[in-house]
Amino acid sequence: MIPKAIEWLEDRLRILDQTKLPQEQSFIDLTDYHDVVLAIEEMRVRGAPAIGVAAAYGIALGAQGIKSESKAEFFSQLDQILQAFSTSRPTAVNLFRAINRMKKIAAMSGSIPEIKEALVNEARRIHHEEIQATSHLSQLGAALIKDGFTILTHCNAGPLATAGYGTALGVIKAAKEQGRRVSVMATETRPLLQGARLTTWELKQENIPVTLITDSMAGYFMHRKKIDCVIVGADRIAANGDVANKIGTYTLAVLAKENHIPLYVAAPTTTIDFSLLSGNEVPIEERDSQEVTHIQRMPIAPEGVKAANPAFDVTPHNYVTTIITERGIIKEPYEKELAKIARR
């Protein structure tokens, strides 16, 4: 069984350290919200929905630690906590959605002890909703997977990334549970190898056959008709259906279109950002270049060489065959269809 990625233990937050997987299953107990911010920045907890859930619990934890009995002082310290989380990782919109919900619930509640309790309850609610949404969208999306399919996936969009059922991997798991034979090709996902380290680990535990490939092998297998569909998750979906996801997704989308292979994006509606007209407006996280010049801290490039490290890219909506959400499976015209599911 896959251990819980995130667990709230009343006075602390327990996370499975994803940087240590698959070699080591090690848990970290966080009692200070600064450490939760750091765990998100260092990607000990990662994946858009999981980042939102971890931040919500982290904010509740931070609020518990505020000692002041003055409400003005309490809100001023709470603002600092919210601010710290808002700069942790910029691309996944689930983070900002969670921060806004926590801010709103604090403003609506009464005394300081009541606010603290309301914040814990709201974090629990956010977590529960992600579990429900990812489980439901997976059941819906499974209908797209036919018996015998080989599915290409990128990065990691399973239980670890969602603190729930999974999105892209959730759809694959649900197809298997519904009795279809499926197999997966997982890209290693440089630079941080979420595919090699996490996706293959999760799939092995689900007894789903998986073949690990390097990112650059995807076109070879598509051209040889070894892939039936591509499924990925998303970090932010703009109102027009453009999808920000792990760097390399755009490359896979172009290759898929060229080879007439459908590209499915699986994401809860918490990943849709209706305030952005297109993917051009998505803030793309640029991470430390050492993640490129090194693999697992081992240098692989000449010392001092310049390296770029955008963590995400944007796939224009015309490359996306279908977006799978818990409120339904939608196709072009995305602007209209996404607006419709927002009203549902």
Nearest residue (CB) to ligand MRU, 26 versus 111? 26
The residue sitting closest to ligand MRU, measured at its beta carbon, is 233
Contact status: 234 vs ligand MRU (CB under 6 A): yes
Contact status: 194 vs ligand MRU (CB under 6 A): yes
Contact status: 88 vs ligand MRU (CB under 6 A): no
Segment contacting ligand MRU by CB under 6 A, of 24-32, 42-50, 103-111, 293-301: 42-50
Segment contacting ligand MRU by CB under 6 A, of 56-64, 79-87, 143-151, 153-161: 153-161
Contact status: 236 vs ligand MRU (CB under 6 A): no
C-beta of 153: minimal distance to ligand MRU in Å? 9
Q: Count of H helices and E strands in the chain?
A: 13, 16
Nearest to 314 by CA among 343, 281, 279: 279
C-beta of 50: minimal distance to ligand MRU in Å? 7
Nearest residue (CB) to ligand MRU, 46 versus 317? 46
DSSP 8-state code for residue 144: G
Binding mask 238-277 for ligand MRU (x = CB under 6 A): -------xx-------------------------------
DSSP string covering 177-219, please?
A: HTT---EEEEE--TTTTHIIIIIHHHHHHTT--EEEE-GGGHH
C-beta of 31: minimal distance to ligand MRU in Å? 24
Segment contacting ligand MRU by CB under 6 A, of 27-35, 45-53, 66-74, 293-301: 45-53
What residues from 90 to 119 belong to the interface with ligand MRU (CB under 6 A)?
A: 92
235 to 104, 210, 313: CA distances (angstroms): 23, 24, 10
Contact status: 311 vs ligand MRU (CB under 6 A): yes
Q: Is 235 among the residues known to form the active site? A: yes
Q: Which of 17, 215, 235, 313 is catalytic?
A: 235
Nearest residue (CB) to ligand MRU, 89 versus 116? 89
């799939």: which residue's tokens? 203
Sheet of 13-16: strand order equals 6-8, 13-16, 27-30
C-beta of 194: minimal distance to ligand MRU in Å? 5
202 to 73, 145, 187: CA distances (angstroms): 44, 19, 14
Residues 281, 224: Cα–Cα separation, whole Å: 36
**Structure-token pair, residue 71:** 């409400």
Residues 87, 283: Cα–Cα separation, whole Å: 12
Nearest residue (CB) to ligand MRU, 37 versus 157? 157
Residue 213 contacts residue 186 (beta carbons within 8 Å): yes
Residues 173, 167: Cα–Cα separation, whole Å: 10
* Residues written for the chain: 344
Nearest residue (CB) to ligand MRU, 78 versus 330? 330
φ and ψ of 45, to 5 deg: -120, 135
C-beta of 224: minimal distance to ligand MRU in Å? 25
Contact status: 46 vs ligand MRU (CB under 6 A): yes
Residues 35, 46: Cα–Cα separation, whole Å: 14
C-beta of 121: minimal distance to ligand MRU in Å? 24
DSSP 8-state code for residue 229: E
Contact status: 202 vs ligand MRU (CB under 6 A): no
Residues that bind ligand MRU (CB under 6 A): 46-49, 92, 155, 157, 161-162, 167, 194, 232-235, 245-246, 311
Q: Which residues are catalytic?
A: 235
